[in-house]
């Protein structure tokens, strides 16, 4: 389950924003740095399906407590994949740039 929200655009598509914890950043409390994920899709169900297909199985959107801001909507609409992330701006100052979802899911190569 995740905090987040959505915004329906004039063309009928939606932008879904989710705040998720991730255990990837050292130096934060218990190794968890929250990330903000933005998804552009035809509807909310398809947006969540895109995330589940990437391996984020337990992602659900309940309510609309943290909808995407106009700047976030612009960022995801201008990205070719329509799926971006960055560390949560409330947790990190100054906020990071938006990154493609591939960089979040990429695992470090094993050293031999």
Q: For residue 74, what pLDDT is reported?
A: 95
Query: What angle (nearest 5°) sits at the alpha carbon of residue 105, between those of residues 103 and 107?
Result: 90
- Tens of pLDDT, residue by residue over 16-28, are 999 887 655 454 5
Segments of the chain with pLDDT less than 50: 1, 25, 27, 112
Q: Which of 105, 87, 107 is nearest to 97 (CA)?
A: 87
Query: What angle (nearest 5°) sits at the alpha carbon of residue 46, between those of residues 43 and 52?
Result: 145
| Tokens describing residue 37 | 């994920």
Q: For residue 87, what pLDDT is reported?
A: 83
Q: For residue 62, what pLDDT is reported?
A: 84
Q: For residue 75, what pLDDT is reported?
A: 93
Q: For residue 43, what pLDDT is reported?
A: 95
Query: What angle (nearest 5°) sits at the alpha carbon of residue 3, between those of residues 100 and 93?
Result: 60
Q: For residue 45, what pLDDT is reported?
A: 93
pTM over 0.85: no
| Helices within the chain (DSSP H only) | 44-53, 70-77, 101-105
């Amino acid at each position: 389950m995740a905090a987040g929200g959505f915004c329906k655009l004039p063309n009928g598509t939606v932008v879904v924003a989710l705040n998720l914890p991730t255990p990837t950043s050292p130096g934060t409390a218990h190794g968890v740095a929250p990330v903000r994920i933005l998804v552009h899709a035809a509807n909310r169900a398809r947006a969540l399906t895109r995330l589940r297909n990437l391996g984020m199985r337990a992602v659900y959107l309940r309510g609309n407590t943290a909808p995407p801001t106009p700047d976030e909507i612009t960022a995801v609409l201008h990205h070719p994949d329509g799926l971006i992330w960055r560390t949560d701006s409330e947790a990190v100052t100054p906020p990071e740039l938006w990154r493609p979802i591939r960089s979040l899911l990429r695992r470090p190569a094993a050293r031999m």
